[in-house]
Amino acid sequence: MKSHSTKLKRAKITAIGSAVPPGLLTNADLERMVETSDQWIMERTGIRQRHIADKGVATSDLATQAALSALEKSKLKPSDIELIIVATITPDMILPATACLVQTNIGADKAWGFDLSAACSGFLYAMQVGAQFVATGAHKNALVIGMDVMSSIIDYEDRKTCVIFGDGGGAAIIEAADEGEDVGMIDFIHEVDGSGGPALCLPGGGSRNPTTHDTVDKKLHYVHQDGQAVFKFATRKMADVCSRVLERNGYTGNDVDCFIPHQANKRIIDYASERLGMPADRSIINIDQFGNTTAGTLPICLQTALEEKRLKKGDLVLFATVGAGFTSGAALLRWAY
């Protein structure tokens, strides 16, 4: 029997678009809502403000904006898109998938799609899933979106969570690199430690605690967080997965041209950079402007890097993330444009 093998293509990001709502919630605003202070928030998180969606603005609305923005910067039409993956923990509704809503909103009538739930790691996981479809040749392209409207699941009387999260995200178009083109995805490490699940969760609304008057009264439909447990895990794990993906590809932190970390806490990012021996100016940090937008932080960071001209073709880019689950991951790629 003749053996058939498929040569994998190299997947690359060819366009980025982002969308954040115009409304702002500043630390000064929060001082009037809960017992906190601008100094306390800045020292512990690095956050100065976060964007908040108006009532009635859903994840699909912002995801549609980000997708159209990415398409405008690409050579593709909506009808060219073959796969849509929306990474989110704030879908418009439990069903249908938000990807279905985005598909019809942008007119991608030939695309199929689905949602991916991995909290703060969502975009990085979705990007790798999309890259595999492109690398195998199953699809010519994938539209990957990381978007959350976190204000819809935050208790603004809980200072442990309300100071951290914001709304927004972005979209990336993934296509195959040309033959011999030295750009695109290089490697990734993704992990899950499910024992940490209870430390960051939304207990109500699923099959474990279906929605009732009691679950609403007990505020089970808001994010619950053990801040210390999450901080300790994230600080250790982000640096760890980055170190390993660099080492197994023959790189050091000093080789990284642009570090795109999840924006959970500035102290976590600074620790990872220091442990990797990476110059501080390689890190893209915009948590002061946007807070933690969960699945939206990485594409917003990419947008910031491009706007600040800190990313150019051929640059070695390191992504890193840690999120509820506990999920974690790191990825390396050569920037394509």
Q: Which of 116, 117, 106, 115 is nearest to 81 (CA)?
A: 106
Count CB-CB contacts under 10 A for residue 192.
16
Q: Which residues are catalytic?
A: 120, 262, 292
Residue that is written with structure tokens 């967080």 in the block? 225
Of 286, 243, 284, 302, nearest to 124 by C-alpha is: 302
Write the CA distances from 294 to 11, 148, 312, integer angstroms: 24, 6, 26
Which H or E run includes 190? Answer: strand 184-192
Alpha-carbon distance of 173 to 12, in angstroms, equals: 8
CA distance 291 to 266: 10
**Residue 49 main-chain phi, psi, to 5 deg:** -155, 165
Signed CA dihedral, 83, 126, 170, 308: sign only: negative
H or E segment at 86? strand 83-87
Give every CB contact of residue 116 below 8 A, 6+ residues apart in sequence: 85, 86, 87, 88, 122, 125, 126, 129
Could you tell me the two tokens for 330?
């790191």
In the 3-class helix/strand/coil scheme, how is 87-110 assigned residue by residue? ECCCCCCCCCCHHHHHHHHHCCCC
Peptide bond into 96 cis (omega under 30): yes
